[in-house]
Structure 1
């Protein structure tokens, strides 16, 4: 009798530990299915990963990350943005190669995958973090980072994310608008870092520059005078042989904010207002006619845009 109780106790402990481990993770044994409305949620209940349909769309299904406790459904990252599933048969799981992969029904080829080569694939797992980063880790090598969504952003730039280049790997972290509120596919506008003698952040429509930040002064971008009165963010510019990047992290974890490059052709800093339970826009670029690239005016530039020339007056 004691042996039976011991076995039941061990079995219960196993299931409880498995449940706890799986709350924010996808493993070989724990996957999520669209038809069960399953999600995984970060440890602090900040972000969720699961299936969704954007705005008025009722058939196209995507895997995305959104704020878990904010009542307004706000998606900050999309996996299969150009390859929607048209029913609720989607399954997100770890595949035989150790990649996080999205499958439709019983199909053998994935709709989307992290698509990296891994060793010891049986021990890899995916985890959603409180930062909003989805990571693929290798458990038998001390939880080595294999892949992260922060390295493959869509239209949203969060704290602890970067815009720029890993000059060793060639990874370019840029932000591309959705096609429309109903379609998270790659849109017309891209916000990225331009390398060179005087790096700048530039908003493009296709290959045409729409707006630029100006050069880095050591404390701020010369074309964004609002940064001179910044008391909420820790801004970091890195220009080394290995990395060219910029990040803007919140000083307080209670401040919920995001940058979005949207389908209307602007990039915006947006803050969550707890009192009104809504998002409010704190900064927009371009904001007025003089902000547009190539526009003539007292604060604009009438010359052809080049690095090291035609700096915006502030």
Structure 2
């Protein structure tokens, strides 16, 4: 998924982090044209830019809408598409053509550069789009795409977990990761004690239902040091986490880099039609990059 804002702000991420739980409220962002569906963006947030290597979280629906995201570029990250309801068609410059359905994972590794599009018919759509920042020694890897229709499931008293990325509850997702992280969908049914890796910081997003202590909309941030979290109620929750990301990054529009000049070079390549390949089969033109801000982009602290 693309950041379709016409005037995207510089996203400053780095190494500083607080040591308290936080409720990260989302901001509403339109995804596309005049009939665009709205997404709630909880990462990056005003006070916190990353949770582990997770640097972008957009939640949308449930609502009747048609997704239409034209071909656009990415660098230095992985895109994670997770649906609760509906169906989305992915195309990319590697030639991938894949529908993603609820409970299935579409994972695209941008590496040094890739472009893709996403679209759906008008129907009820409900899901989450996430980005993972690649560490410095992996951010120029060859681009790749994976589709995982069958993911491991862990059942414990009060909940069942689908392991989307990384390891959880003794099960390991087949998805490729480049840093220590986790993502899982938790189906909560009653009181439950959710195991957590104390080396990780975590975020929890209520997808549907009523699950305490969560509320619909915000992302709950938990700092490292916890080995469990008690939930109660009935509903679905997205859990993400990872070791605190130890690098400063510059994230602007759809690029993750390390300096202003690098981001400017990515933008130039995209606008000149170089470096990101061509998405075949999409009925429309690629998405133009917005203008760079008038001040230089700087890598700064990951929390403020």
Superposition TM-score, scaled by structure 2 size: 0.25
Say which one has the larger Rg: 1
Structure in which a larger fraction of residues adopt helix: 1
Q: Looking at both structures, which has the greater relative contact order when contacts are Cα pairs under 8 Å and sequence separation is at least 6?
A: 2
TM-score, L = length of structure 1:
0.25
